[in-house]
Structure 1
Amino acid sequence: MATLYGLGVGPGDPELMTLKTVRLIKESDIIAIPQSGQDVNTAYAIAKKAVPQIEEKEIARIAMPMTRDQQALDASHDAAARRIIDYLDHGKNVAFLTLGDPSIYSTYTYIHKRVLASGRQAQMVPGIPSFCAVSARLNEPLAEAGQALHIIPASYKALDTCMELEGTKVLMKSGKAVGEIKDMICGQPHRWSAKMVERCGMEGERAFHSADEINTQAGYFSIIVVKDK
């Protein structure tokens, strides 16, 4: 039976793609990439550097609108799943490319669940998460011994509540919340220290080694690591 593979291509550096992901890209019949308006899909661009043969594959551009309108999201996910199911029913294996790891805030998971619910086969293939690459870029651990590690979608959650959590806080999906995060940390410098990496492993990568340095105009691919003092 044909299978849908959710492939994590890692955070940006093509050398961080796993051997399994590389193999499945080569073996799959269809390469599915989420499309939200940009001309070049980031996950595809990363994969192409590691697997140039990907350009010979049939590409399925899957519409994934950047919105929080649940009705619109459900409609797009349903349509994407139907399209992929059609490929599977014709005996074609599909490799769906996603940044980082497919189990962490990935649009792929919505397709994955729908395909499984339809009785078809789907499998997640792990990739290196962006926050692990950020930790390596900063050259320091995220958590030690009994320290808790919290992964927080910063633009979706109440920051004041999240910042009360003990341990290391990884703030993903910061977006327009970067300024609020910086103000909160700088306002209580005795409580927290923070570092940020923008576009880790990609062209234009920048590291900020203190809260004061953080650029409030940083782009979407920015992760802030906050530690208790």
Structure 2
Amino acid sequence: MATTTSVATTSALRALHAELIKLEKEPVEGFIVKANDENLFEWEVAIFGPPGTLYEGGYFKAMMKFPHDYPYSPPTFRFHTKMWHPNIYENSGDVCISILHPPVADEQSGELPSERWNPTQNVRTILLSVISLLNEPNTYSPANVDASVMYRRWKDSKGKNKEYEDLIKKQVKGTELDAQKDEVIVPKTLEEYCIKTKETPQSQSSVDLADFYDDGDYGVEDDDDDDDDECYYDDEDDSGNGES
């Protein structure tokens, strides 16, 4: 007789397999994913910096790890590319965002239950939320206080204080070598970001990323019908999707 744990694991594997197939058939601009052939609970992710933002031209590598009761519990999302961002922990690369928080009552967090994880969420909504988060940090409950202060200083000065901007641009520049190594062409224009990556999904999804994290900076051990020409990020500040 199957145990509750084994049933949950089987259900999670089915859900993840279905999501992977859907992403391969209906890719969304802004990211590429590659599931671990030996462990479907670990997905390698690469996010492209949205054009028109400080992250334009960036190629940011990360890992998603799914619990064995997925989708009833959220996965974790950890950047392996060194990131300086108000809602990303500097030392670990872990993303702190409401959608990845368990659906439990937590009055101190200030989050509404509707902002937290629920089983209707999926890999696609997570990745789109993370992409949006890059340019829309939540500075009211930061994971990196210093980055939050620096960002607010830049924002409040309307870009006159260049400290935050220069640091992010340097960070983006540093990802070029990884993109070259992985033989990935990073979209830098809005047309490339919104259309080209969707017209040639095979060229991106079939990239051999066997050495995806060989020299990551952190050294960690450890469904919708979308308009083809639509992009899924905006540039509004403090959207509230990065609660710690």
Same fold flag (TM > 0.5): no
Structure (1 or 2) with the greater strand fraction: 1
Sort the TM-score into its range (normalised by shorter chain): under 0.3
